[in-house]
Each structure stands twice: as C-alpha cells, then as structure tokens.
A and B are shown apart, each in its own frame.
Chain A
Amino acid sequence: MSQHVLPPEPMTNEAIASRLTNLAKKKIRDGLIKKKNLVYLELNGCSGNIISLLNGQNPDFEYTMNSMVNILYSNSLMASEGEQAIQRLMNALDEDYILAVEGAVALKNNGLYNIIGSWKGEPLTGLKAAKMLGEKASQILAVGACATHGGVSAAKPNLSESVGLQTILPEKKMIKLPGCPVQPDWFLGTLAHLLLYGEPETDNLGRPLMFYSTLIHDRCPRRPFFDRGIFAEKLGDKTCLFKLGCRGPVTRIDCPTRQWNGHVNWPIGANTPCIGCAQFGFPDAMAPFISYDTTRVVKNE
C-alpha cells in the first residue's frame, strides 16, 4: 500500500472510515478480496459496543454483517440459541476467523461470574471461550474499554475480578479499540482495514493510529477559550470545560471531528466535559468526571 492511499485524518470529517469501507465494498463487489469470518464475542460488559455498532454508517451495519464479513457468532445478534448457538461457536474453531471481543474477562471462581452459554451440559464461561477462541484467531480486536483494559467491569471494587483481554492472552497480538462505547467507525474502519491491507498501523499501546493519534484537546472547537483562560463554571456553559474536569487534554481520539450518532454531536458539543472514555485506565483513573469546587476563582495567589 502506498503512503498516499490513506491521507491523515483531517482531510474531512469522516474521511478515513468511509474511504476504507467504500474501497472494501468495491473490492468485495469486484471479487478482489474475500469475506472473512467474524466471531463477535460479548463477555462481561453491558453490550454497549454492539448497540453502538448498530448505529454504524460507514458502511451501515447490515451491509457490514452481510457483505463484508461472514458472522459466525454474536451473543446479541444471532438467531440460534442455547446449545445450538454454542455449536456454531465451536464450529468456528475449525475455520479461519477474526475474533472481536467486547466486555472484560471475569476471573473470579474460574470465570463463573460470566457465563455465556452451556456446552454439553457444562456452563461455558467467558474466560474459557475467550482463551479457546483467542488462541486460534487470525486477528483479534479488543472492542471497547472493558475488553482493552477492564474498563467499567474492572472498576473498583471489581467484584468479578475482571481483566482486559490481553491479560489472559498475553502472547497474542491484538488491536485495541478503547472507548465506552466504541464509535462504529473505529470498529468498522479497522475491520475494513484488516480486510483490505491487513493490520493497521498502531501505537505502542495497540491502538490504530488512524483513529487514536490526536488529542481531543488539539482539535477541540473550544480550544480558543482554553488558550485565553476562559473557563466554564457549570455544565451547560459554552466555554472551555477544563476546570470542571475535562479529560480532552489527555485523551487521544478523533471525537471532535468524527462525532457520534451519524456525526450529529459529541459530549463537548453537548456542553459536558470529556470523561476520557477512550483512555486506558477509564473509568477509575479518569475520576472525578465532574468537579465544581476547583480553581476557577484564584483568591489569594
């Protein structure tokens, strides 16, 4: 792939994901690349990532699932149920597949805090499924904060002893897509890249650079307020939300230009601070999400 196929992201709002997925569409239509199998496993989490994915536009969700990949298993979306569903999961092991995992892996009681189905009368734990499928997958995507580092599932006091996917598959290379939830473009764009060119370029934490390279702060439309020291005093104020605890200055992701729900809006556009959901360590390391008693009035200094 030449350097010029993928211009850096500021070209347009939705440039990368749409460019990638349009090319993937075309190549699939022309028979130049083959559909790949996808196993989408939901472990210990809220299923927020798959719900977010239903809102995908580049391409839309239906197209992705029907034409880009061959979906072998998905807890939420498949028609099969019970052992029949798990049978499909087991069949997947015989083929080549991309594994996408959302949710954390619960370790407590040998994984019994998170059971995704039953197999031959025995409960199938998320821990067992993730290990089994992770070992054999050709590529692994950790989708969302829980899968990448434990996220909300592993927040204190972490009763289920949840961990990120990498902890139980320490040797496997995986692409990490932190976010709570993941923006559909981040997932679909990465998937399209996998089909077209193989693994995308990632940073030292495994995040695709095409989405996770720029700080929110550097593209924030309210940046001029920060630079002039004009800070919001309460939620709803239209100025810089830094003093209320905005995590934009430490969070690397493209929310300001990509936005959410079909590019309608994003947290800061809706006057709430960034809570750093695409940051490793979220949520514990990003707390408090909002502070009202901070330095906005400097009295005696």
Chain B
Amino acid sequence: MKMQNIEMLRLQLNNLVTQARYDIYTLSSTNDLSMQNQILQRLWDSISSIHFLSELLANQAMNCTQQTLQPYTNHQQISSGSASSNPMNPQSTSRMFTLEELSKYDGKNGMPAYVAVNGIVYDVTNNKAWAAATHFGLLAGKDLTKEFSSCHAGQQSILATLPVVGRLRQ
C-alpha cells in the first residue's frame, strides 16, 4: 500500500518535471509577452506542487507522516474554494440557530467558525479571508450583517461562495 503511494508520488513528480522542462523550453523560444506570463505562472504552480510532493515524500521517508500530513478526510470541510457550488442541502438550511448557539461556533478549540449575515448562517471555517476565525478584527460566532453591509455592500457574490449551515432565529 505504502509502496504504491510512493510510486504514485514519483509519477506525479516526474510529470511535473517534464511539464516544467517543456515550459522552460517554450519560454526560451517565445517572444509573446502574454504567453510568457502564462507559462511563468504555470512554472510557478509546478514548482509549488513539486515542493509539496517532495515534502510529502521526505515525511514518508522519515516515517512521521501519520500525524502532520494526514489530509482531512472530509473534503467538504476543506475546500471553501470549491464550495462555489454552494452545498445547500435541505438539512443544512433548515437548521436554526439562536444568537447564543451561534456564539459557540467561534472557531476556537476545535469548533467550526460560523457567521450570520441577513439571517443566514455561513461556515467560514476554511474561508481564506478568515484565518484563525478572524477577519479584519471581526470574530466568528456573531451576526455580522451590519459589518458586512458597511464593507461589502452589494457584493452578494461573496456570500454566494460560502457554505450555508442554517438560519438565524430572529
């Protein structure tokens, strides 16, 4: 099992290196600025991934992978980025929160981070603008309707990318 994993990583690494070599070759032969930028961006991404995979390999080699490098199993929890499809299942929207209940979800001590805007409760646990469950001095676990409208008025698209977990009891 483990050997298979390492073989997989090796394959991925080789693919990335091939890609990078090809990119470097193309870069040296093109004068198209916009293309150069695209290729540079891809090179940057490749190198980042190579870095990631090599770290993974090094950790496996040192046999301490279990603790630090065990990816979350629940992918929904992680990728707020892919949550643009808004997983609004019927169960989650029907869940009701009082302000007091909401305040428990402050992102501290293992709790997820929720915030309410206009009566809807959103999960910001893995949102990139909410590092450590804080955002420009605001804390999670609160009704932030006023704060949202004062900074992001008319930017409903921000909310549309957040997973909905329920509604706030008024």
Which A residues contact B (CB, under 8 angstroms)? 4, 7-8, 10-11, 217, 219, 221, 223-230, 233, 237-239, 242-250, 273, 281, 284-288, 290-291, 293-299, 301
Taken together as a complex, chains A and B put the C-alpha atoms of A277 and B119 apart, in Å, by: 34
The verdict on B25 contacting chain A, using a C-beta distance below 8 Å, is no
**CB proximity to A under 8 Å, residues B35-81:** 36-37, 40-41, 44, 47-49, 51-52, 55, 68-69, 71-72, 74-75, 77-79, 81
Which B residues contact A (CB, under 8 angstroms)? 33, 36-37, 40-41, 44, 47-49, 51-52, 55, 68-69, 71-72, 74-75, 77-79, 81, 107-113, 125-126, 128-129, 131-137
Contact A224 B51 (CB under 8 A): yes
Contact B131 A245 (CB under 8 A): yes
| Interface secondary structure of A, over-half rule | loop
Output the nearest chain A residue to B113 by Cβ-Cβ distance: A295
| CB < 8 Å neighbour of A250 from B36, B52, B129 | B129
Output the nearest chain B residue to A297 by Cβ-Cβ distance: B110
Contact A10 B110 (CB under 8 A): no
Q: How far is the CB of A239 from chain B (nearest CB, A)?
A: 7
Output the nearest chain A residue to B81 by Cβ-Cβ distance: A227
Chain B residues in 8 Å Cβ range of A11: 36-37, 40
Contact A223 B48 (CB under 8 A): yes
Taken together as a complex, chains A and B put the C-alpha atoms of A225 and B52 apart, in Å, by: 7
Q: How far is the CB of B23 from chain A (nearest CB, A)?
A: 13
If A7-B37, A228-B71 touch, whether A294 touches B77 (CB-CB below 8 Å) is: no
Contact B137 A287 (CB under 8 A): yes
Taken together as a complex, chains A and B put the C-alpha atoms of A242 and B36 apart, in Å, by: 31
If A227-B79, A237-B68, A297-B110 touch, whether A245 touches B137 (CB-CB below 8 Å) is: no
Chain B residues in 8 Å Cβ range of A224: 48-49, 51-52
| CB < 8 Å neighbour of A228 from B77, B78, B109, B111 | B78
| Known A229-B72, A298-B125; further 8 A-B contacts with Cβ < 8 A | A223-B48, A224-B52, A243-B132, A291-B132, A293-B109, A295-B125, A296-B110, A299-B110
A-B pairs, 9 with minimum CB distance: A229-B78, A245-B132, A249-B128, A224-B52, A291-B132, A297-B110, A229-B72, A285-B136, A285-B137
Taken together as a complex, chains A and B put the C-alpha atoms of A10 and B47 apart, in Å, by: 14
Taken together as a complex, chains A and B put the C-alpha atoms of A18 and B77 apart, in Å, by: 43
If A228-B71, A244-B132, A301-B112 touch, whether A221 touches B51 (CB-CB below 8 Å) is: yes
Taken together as a complex, chains A and B put the C-alpha atoms of A224 and B44 apart, in Å, by: 12
Taken together as a complex, chains A and B put the C-alpha atoms of A186 and B126 apart, in Å, by: 32
